[in-house]
Amino acid sequence: MVKKVAAVEKNVPIPPVVTKQGVNVALLAEMEPGDSRWWSSDDAKRTMRFYRVAKKLGIKILIRKVGAEDPQGPGVRMWRIAQDDDAFIQ
């Protein structure tokens, strides 16, 4: 059995860098302090993605379970808060 050696190619140009901005990044960048986003209880796990992205970007967010008193009903809501605003975090 003869092993096939991979061919080495020379002078292949490196493509330009493509930056892809995910939906989570776009939503967080679009939000201003005080803005919020609601998810149903079934979609609550999605908030963890936003938490990870916000932490990497240095954006402060607050995620809480909300009940029937919320305008959208029971679920999970994420607020973007000001960088220096610790009043809501308890």
Given pLDDT bands bounded at 50, 70 and 90, which one contains residue 8? Answer: confident
Domain presence at residue 67: yes
pLDDT tens-digit profile of 19-57? 666 778 888 888 999 999 999 988 888 888 889 889 988
pLDDT score recorded for residue 26: 85
- Reading across the β-sheet that carries 75-80, which strands appear in turn? 36-39, 75-80, 61-66
In a domain, residue 38? The reply is yes
Determine, yes or no, domain membership for 28.
Answer: no
Q: What is the pLDDT of residue 22?
A: 73
Question: Which residues span the domain enclosing 61?
Answer: 33-80
The pTM assigned to this predicted structure is: 0.67
Tell me, what's the pLDDT at 47? Answer: 87
Is residue 8 situated within a structural domain?
no
Q: How many structural domains is the chain composed of? A: 1
71, part of any domain:
yes
Reduced to 3 states (helix: H, G, I; strand: E, B; else coil), residue 8 is coil
- Using CB atoms within 10 Å of the CB of residue 80, give its burial: 0 to 12 exposed, 13 to 18 middle, 19+ buried: buried
Residue 84: pLDDT band with limits 50, 70, 90: confident
